[in-house]
Amino acid sequence: MEKRKAVLSIRGLTKEFPGVKAVSEASLEIYGGEIHSIVGGNGAGKSTLMKMLAGVYAHHTFAGEIELLGEICEFKNILEAQHKGIIMIPQDLNMLEELSVAENLFMNKYPIHRGWIDYHKMYGESQKIIDDFGLSLEPQTKVKEIGIAQKQLLVIARAMYNEVKVLLLDEPTATLSDKECKILFTKIRELRSRGIACVYISHRLEEVKEISDMITVMRDGYIVGTAGNADMDEKRIVSLMVGRNVDEVYPAHNRTPGEVVLSVKNITIRDQKVPDKKIVDNVSFDLHKGEILSMYGLVGAGRSETALAIIGGFKGEVTCQQEIKSKPVFITSPGKANKYKIGYLPEDRKKQGVVDIASVGRNITMSSLDHLSNYSVLDQDKERDTVEDVIRRLSIKTPSSETLVRNMSGGNAQKCVLGRWIAAESEILILDEATQGIDVESKTQIYYIMDELAKRGKSILFISSDLSEVMGISDRILTMRHGKVVNITDGKSADRDQILWEATVGTRED
């Protein structure tokens, strides 16, 4: 290989948080015109490393050197890093929901004409960007009205139209559909051909393999391996990430589901803006005791809405009939669902799942406070025992039960939410994208926990967009498309291509 000069070199970067060394002695060279992927489990330090590069953490808060184009940089904040051409697209999108697409695209540098914002120009240029990304949007649309995937692409678009030398993408595809991923990848490759260095963080190994030139693996804050794409096969990446060989990702499948526990009939939710459109259309299914029933479908197929309707948590009008153990029930609120021993793990961990300024213990017991108290006075002994039991059973990695959830990695935070329903002794668990955005090791642990729960007679409705895990874990697979149940098949004999076809057919694929 010819000798090239690195755009960005980092030497010995180390960042400590109280009690944890998030990144230790990280050194890397990143070249222009190259897509460099960083993979690793949650808590491996990828995001922290990115934040150090992007100036989110001021330079004096960590040790080590960052050299950009031969110049040592000591960023005090994000703006300084942006001026030098390092732009990060964070995991949680920061868009101004009440403003229009165009206003968001041109944030901070509105075209000015005689002291006034030149809307004509702004809308025109926005339209170009939107068309370029293949989005069907109006520049005047308010951001709060568009889908999360489109928002993601907009944020990326916003970054790309800035002066950029190094683009840091943190889990950009977590919420994108395959089609949108393709658009994104085309854009990233375009940037590469312009000589820009892209650093790409993802949990999806297939994607990483598809797009990367270089792959770096991190574990527990250390860089444990860097190599060209050809020298890193998936097996090697996973074994580096986990620190051991993983052959058994999914638990062996020998459960025997029993009688029907939950039966839902004719769930229908209408779109509040378009009355003719049904978000969920006449969905009916049975859930058996000790069964893992997966609900597979693309984003927007109405799966989360169905789940929310079951627990009475949907904000809006729902028609729905439910039976628990053949007795009709009317579940009008998540609190009532809890009384009927139904627990729901929400899709969006940060916004709907954890109370991040509360401790691990408080997050675990928040749904079982009534069992842990006498006449609403808390029984602290009982609470402590419950929390410690859950932490042990789910092997949640935390220094103590009093640690705040905001200091934990995604996988461990997710286990707290799961543990909440184990503490509440729920008989029926609805897990909505439980493994999204968490590392391979935690994923495997969650599969094994699900298996154990099912064997103990709990029933699990597992909502997922990841076909491999659906194939790996389910007793039965329910496929949804456009708010309708397309098919329910047996998990063991299911055909991967058939399910994918059922979930996607009818949607426009280019």
The site for other proteins (CB under 8 A) is made up of 18, 311, 313, 333-335, 337-339, 344, 346, 351-358, 362, 366-367, 369-370, 372-373, 376-378, 380-381, 384, 400-402, 420, 424
Provide the residue type at 150 as one letter: Q
**CB 378 to other proteins: min, Å:** 6
- Assign 9 to helix, strand or coil: strand
**CB 279 to other proteins: min, Å:** 18
User: Which tokens in the block code for residue 32?
Assistant: 């222009």
**Smaller CB distance to other proteins: residue 69 or 366?**
366
Q: Which helix (H) or strand (E) holds 467?
A: helix 467-473
Sheet harboring 278-288: ordered strands across?
Answer: 278-288, 260-270, 318-324, 327-329
**Smaller CB distance to other proteins: residue 370 or 495?**
370
**CB 335 to other proteins: min, Å:** 4
- Assign 121 to helix, strand or coil: helix
**CB 20 to other proteins: min, Å:** 13
Listed residue (178, 181, 136, 139) closest to 158, CA to CA: 139
Please provide the DSSP assignment of 363-420 as one string.
Answer: HHHTT-TTTTEETTEE-HHHHHHHHHHHHHHTT---S-TTSBGGGS-HHHHHHHHHHH
**Smaller CB distance to other proteins: residue 96 or 112?**
96
What is d(CA 446, CA 435) in angstroms, rounded to the nearest whole number?
Answer: 8
**Smaller CB distance to other proteins: residue 94 or 326?**
94
**Smaller CB distance to other proteins: residue 57 or 344?**
344
What is d(CA 118, CA 396) in angstroms, rounded to the nearest whole number?
Answer: 53
**CB 8 to other proteins: min, Å:** 28
**CB 324 to other proteins: min, Å:** 16
**Smaller CB distance to other proteins: residue 104 or 338?**
338
Number of Cβ atoms within 10 Å of the Cβ of 190: 12
**CB 101 to other proteins: min, Å:** 19
**Smaller CB distance to other proteins: residue 27 or 400?**
400
**CB 338 to other proteins: min, Å:** 3
Provide the residue type at 505 as one letter: V
Decide: 262 and 306 in contact? Cβ < 8 Å.
no
Looking only at the bridges linking them, the beta strands covering 318-324 and 327-329 are: antiparallel
What is d(CA 84, CA 451) in angstroms, rounded to the nearest whole number?
Answer: 50
What is d(CA 169, CA 208) in angstroms, rounded to the nearest whole number?
Answer: 12
Instruction: Write the Ramachandran bin of 217: left for phi over 0, alpha for psi from -120 to 50, otherwise beta.
Output: beta
**Smaller CB distance to other proteins: residue 338 or 479?**
338
**Smaller CB distance to other proteins: residue 123 or 344?**
344
Looking only at the bridges linking them, the beta strands covering 428-432 and 476-481 are: unpaired
**CB 336 to other proteins: min, Å:** 8
